[in-house]
Structure 1
Amino acid sequence: MELEVRHLRALCAIADTGSLHKAARQLGMSQPSLTTQLRRIEHAVGGELFARERTGCRPTPLGRIVLSRARPLVVEMRALVTEARAAAARASDGTPRLRIGSTASRAIPGWLRRLRNRMPGTETSLQMDVSANALLQMLANGQLDIAFVHEVEGCPLRIPDGLRRRVLVDREPQFVSLAADHPASRKPVVHLTDLADDRWMVDPTVDGEWDGLQRVLREAGLNPRVLHGDYLTAATLVATGEVVTVCQPTSVARPDMAVRPLYGDPLGVRLLVTARTTAELDAVYGELEAAYWEAAAESPAYQDWLLGTRGTAPPAPAAPAALPPLPRPATAPLPPPDLGPAPSQDLRPTLL
């Protein structure tokens, strides 16, 4: 067996995630298939590359040697593919294209509307995914131009080298959605102990979501029953009183469903927009910022939280201004930015 780039990419994914299950998901394959592939790679190199432990996979000394040679090759191949795709796009019909990837957000419709109005000659596409890490990898591979993602507190994302990033919201509190007739819905702020007897629903395919919720519940001394499923199904079950679930603060209540802040804001996320170049970030960031705060202003619960916690209402959307033409993709990744000091807890947009 001769090693190929896809084999090296698999080894890097296993090392980066520390788990065959997570690496398989990142690579878009099943865990049994990845396990079989790893065995074949180890047979080809003549030794074990990862020690399988209860807590995950750890590179062996031989594995570290192989990885030290594999990583530069994978990076170079990624740059080659990115450059080739950019050249192919330029050689097509000449229409400017903007490929956006995003995790779920109520800011998306307003963002796309603003971009369409400000860039009427640009063809915009949208790729939604529950996995922020998958979107970041697609961006690094040249399959996307922009990725708008959220990072669950305590569960850092794996941001590939060479990407530029900007923080939209440093710490967005996560609220809870519950049936409108739930006893706790009569309170302006809900304690986790108010939900001790409820079943929770969480989507475990969302990067960091299950780990973050587990941590919060454990710290509150709770061990509730949990259902796993997507959040579209969760909304239906919340309305009928079957479950409660974490939700974004921009979520809007319905006649059959209430949205409330959690006491002490135990769970937060950081909202990031990323691109390969600063120019690409500059071309779309203002529109996203305005769309986010527009969505925030439509949520009474979030407005009350902002006024009560920060003493300020959501900022008014900025007046439209002429945008420069969308830049062509760079031919090679730029060096990572200097992140500077640790981010503050200010809710307003912050630059990295």
Structure 2
Amino acid sequence: MELEVRHLRALCAIADTGSVHKAARLLGVSQPSLTTQLRRIEHALGAELFARERTGCRPTPLGHAVLSRARPLVAQMALLVTETRAAAARADGARLRVGSTASRALAGWLRRLRDRLPGTDITLHMDVSAGALLRALAAGQLDVAFVHEVEGCPLRVPDGLERRVLVEREPQFISMARDHPAAAAPVVDLADLAGDRWMVDPTVDGEWDGLRRVLGAAGIDPPVLHGDYHTAASLIVAGEVVAPCQPTSGPRDDMAIRPLRGDPLAVRLLLYSRPGTDTDAGHAEPAYADLVAAYREAALRTSAYRQWLLRHGSPLARAA
């Protein structure tokens, strides 16, 4: 077996994320296929490159040596691809490459961008990992990135990126079955959910650590399932779990979404760009203005969040 750039990229992804599961999500492949690929690489080299531990994967001494040679090669190949694509984009016409974590504001933002920039090729790249989007932005693979940062779990931001704050502190609500006893109240106490099973997606940067910190501070230790939020929705409706959710979520006939008393869970919403580029000079500020308008539209469309904004005297509510 001869090592190729894709093999080196896989090794770097495993080292960067500390997990084969997270690396597979980052690379857009299945975990079993990446595990098999890693075994083949190690077999070809004749030694283990990562120590498998309960908390993830850690490079062995040989792994560190291989990674020190692999990273420059991967970076150079990424730069070659980026520069080639940039040259093609300049030849073919204007384009804007948007990256984003999940948000109810996304559809309205894209609609506004297309209205503002007719003739521009606007593409969208979604990822659960804010860190992966920021790395792609720094590598020149994206022009702007809309991400969220879990409170108490700061993102690792590559050097050279410019940040614009959309919302300094967005509260995270709780989603539960419509017939959950706590759903009878307009605001829910964490203590009312101490006996429930919670669900969280650990591949979302900071999500599990942030929830664990908040639950610990409240003095409760409920069982927690790890899984994606698409799966969580069906389990929530069935009354099997409760889960954090964006305040712009809902409404749904089969699910109750309520704010938590004291708003212990929160995120910061941020837009990043690369200063000094043609895209940043021409599009970053208008893109931010369109994102603000789209987020306001999504926020005021949801009754529970609109009431929360009014109670807290948010500028978003005053703008309405």
Q: Which residue of 1 aligns with 2:287?
A: 284
Q: Which residue of 1 aligns with 2:148?
A: 150
Q: 2:316 is paired with a residue of what secondary structure?
A: coil
Q: Tell me, in whole angstroms, the C-alpha distance in 1 between the residues paired with 2:160 and 2:31.
A: 29
Letter in 1 for 2:174: V
In structure 2, the CA distance between the partners of 1:227 and 1:16, relative to structure 1 (3 Å rule), is closer
Q: Tell me, in whole angstroms, the C-alpha distance in 2 between the residues paired with 1:83 and 1:292.
A: 33
Letter in 2 for 1:77: M
C-alpha deviation, 1:98, in angstroms = 2.2
Q: 2:114 is paired with a residue of what secondary structure?
A: helix
Q: Tell me, in whole angstroms, the C-alpha distance in 2 between the residues paired with 1:189 and 1:263.
A: 6
In structure 2, the CA distance between the partners of 1:306 and 1:3, relative to structure 1 (3 Å rule), is same
* Mapped contact 1:293–1:316 kept (Cα < 8 A): no
Letter in 2 for 1:170: E
Letter in 1 for 2:288: Y
Q: Which residue of 1 aligns with 2:314?
A: 312
1:100-179 matches, cutoff 5 A? 100-140=98-138, 142-160=140-158, 162-179=160-177
1:41-120 matches, cutoff 5 A? 41-42=41-42, 47-92=47-92, 94=93, 96-120=94-118
RMSD (CA atoms): 3.3
* Mapped contact 1:294–1:317 kept (Cα < 8 A): no
Q: Tell me, in whole angstroms, the C-alpha distance in 2 between the residues paired with 1:56 and 1:231.
A: 22
* Mapped contact 1:179–1:258 kept (Cα < 8 A): yes
* Mapped contact 1:252–1:298 kept (Cα < 8 A): no
C-alpha deviation, 1:12, in angstroms = 1.8
In structure 2, the CA distance between the partners of 1:64 and 1:204, relative to structure 1 (3 Å rule), is closer
Q: Tell me, in whole angstroms, the C-alpha distance in 2 between the residues paired with 1:209 and 1:5.
A: 31
* Mapped contact 1:101–1:128 kept (Cα < 8 A): yes
1:221-300 matches, cutoff 5 A? 221-224=219-222, 230-231=228-229, 234-235=232-233, 238=236, 241=239, 243-254=241-252, 257-277=255-275, 278-279=280-281, 280-300=283-303
- How many matched pairs? 315
Q: 1:314 is paired with a residue of what secondary structure?
A: helix
* Mapped contact 2:306–2:317 kept (Cα < 8 A): no
In structure 2, the CA distance between the partners of 1:47 and 1:305, relative to structure 1 (3 Å rule), is same
C-alpha deviation, 1:83, in angstroms = 0.7
Percent of aligned pairs sharing the same letter: 72
Q: 1:99 is paired with a residue of what secondary structure?
A: strand
In structure 2, the CA distance between the partners of 1:276 and 1:305, relative to structure 1 (3 Å rule), is same
Letter in 2 for 1:198: D
In structure 2, the gaps of 5 or more residues are none
C-alpha deviation, 1:223, in angstroms = 4.2
- Deviations along 1:202-259, one digit per CA (max 9) or x if unpaired, are 4455444344334433443444455666545655654565543211122343555443
- Deviations along 1:88-145, one digit per CA (max 9) or x if unpaired, are 22333x3x22232322212122212322222223232333343434444544555543
Q: Which residue of 1 aligns with 2:191?
A: 193
Q: Tell me, in whole angstroms, the C-alpha distance in 1 between the residues paired with 2:111 and 2:228.
A: 26
Q: Which shows bigger deviation, 133-142 or 184-193?
A: 133-142
Q: Which shows bigger deviation, 205-214 or 187-196?
A: 205-214
Letter in 1 for 2:18: G
- Deviations along 1:293-325, one digit per CA (max 9) or x if unpaired, are 23223334334434444x43416669xxxxxxx
C-alpha deviation, 1:30, in angstroms = 3.6
Letter in 1 for 2:247: P
Instruction: Identify the structure with the greater helix proportion.
Output: 2
Q: What's the TM-score, normalizing by structure 2?
A: 0.80
Q: Tell me, in whole angstroms, the C-alpha distance in 1 between the residues paired with 2:36 and 2:132.
A: 22
In structure 2, the CA distance between the partners of 1:140 and 1:203, relative to structure 1 (3 Å rule), is same
Letter in 2 for 1:127: H
Q: What's the TM-score, normalizing by structure 1?
A: 0.74
Q: Tell me, in whole angstroms, the C-alpha distance in 2 between the residues paired with 1:203 and 1:172.
A: 18
In structure 2, the CA distance between the partners of 1:202 and 1:40, relative to structure 1 (3 Å rule), is closer
* Mapped contact 1:103–1:129 kept (Cα < 8 A): yes
Are positions 1:6 and 2:6 aligned together? yes
Letter in 2 for 1:6: R
Q: Which shows bigger deviation, 265-274 or 54-63?
A: 54-63
Q: Tell me, in whole angstroms, the C-alpha distance in 2 between the residues paired with 1:78 and 1:174.
A: 36
In structure 1, the gaps of 5 or more residues are 319-352
Q: Tell me, in whole angstroms, the C-alpha distance in 1 between the residues paired with 2:90 and 2:4.
A: 29
